[in-house]
Amino acid sequence: MKSKVAVVGLGNTGLYAIKALAKSGDLECAGVIRRAAGAEIIEGVKQYNNIDEMPVKPEVVILCLPSKNMPETAGYYLSKGISVVDSFDIHSEVYNTVNKLDKTAKANNAAAVVSAGWDPGSDSMIRAVFKALDPHYPIYTNFGPGMSMGHSVVAKSVKGVKDAVSITLPLEKGKHKRLVYVELDGSQTKEQVYDNMRADDYFAHDPLEIEVVPKAADYKDASHGGNVHMEGDEITADFKMTVNNPKTTAHVLVACARAALRIPPGAYTVIDLPLVTLLEGTREENIKKLV
């Protein structure tokens, strides 16, 4: 019998999560929870305004929301005894978020897997593996060029912006530049929008360039990529991915939803998880296949 999962929110990541669940042999999507729920069936799945409307309570929910909304929403579902997986991507806040959710999760016999996208997420696992190979050399992660979903969502929320697309451009040794294509709403000048954007933590740490365009949507592209690199006197290690950003994020989320059903109550990141908990099939099957 398949375990029941609900997708909270939608967007591209949510749609890909529904599709990934449909192909799973051990998980199934029991519904989509969103504020603007309608009668439309999405990929064969019914929509609900809230979890109390669902005829069957899901064992785990996958949050497909802006990162700034994830910790509070995760706490809400954990308080109901429902495990949670999210792709929270504010790196500097991950540790404190996990610690805060850990108390709620344990008190309600549920599990949370935080920052379960591709970075943070699958790239985090690669960085941990590289550290195990040799703990003495620095590791650099270079992103792009490609559209950052998280930065684009934040850019769109900035005062004076009607729509925006944020492109990540790699520089060197883990440093990046943010190029944001902005469609103004007429309430702010380009210079004011720049200052508003720069004031947000998402854009406070990297070089930022904004370019005003007639239609920001023309610059949307789901492709992205990354390279995790470690180099020392006796070792060079590289991991490179070119991805469909929301699709890859969704696949990691689904794998971590599976893990959330197999681990003790508490809050975790991907580097806390035994790898075998992410995989469909039994421990025996995966050891024989992969080890």
Binding site as annotated, residues for NADP(+): 34-36, 64-67, 87-89, 116-120
**Residues 168, 176: contact at Cβ < 8 Å?**
yes
| DSSP per-residue codes, 77-92 | HHHTT-EEE-----GG
Numbered residues of the known binding site:
34-36, 64-67, 87-89, 116-120, 168, 178, 224, 245
Binding residues for substrate: 168, 178, 224, 245
- Give the residue from 130, 139, 88, 141 showing the smallest Cα distance to 113: 88
Return the DSSP state at 283.
Answer: H
81: nearest Cα among 108, 99, 62: 108
Please give the distance of CA 139 from its chain centroid, rounded to a whole number: 21
d(CA 133, CA 136): 9
Q: Which two tokens stand for residue 109?
A: 């016999």
* 272 in Cβ contact with 261 (< 8 Å): no
Q: How far apart are the first and last CA of the chain?
A: 27
What is the spatial distance between Cα 5 and Cα 33, in angstroms, rounded to a whole number? 11
Compute the Cα dihedral for 256, 257, 261, 267 and give only its sign: positive
Among the listed residues 242, 244, 245, the one whose alpha carbon sits nearest the alpha carbon of residue 225? 242
Rounded Cα gap, residues 161 and 189, in angstroms? 10
SS3 for 239? strand
CB 71 within 8 A of CB 271: no
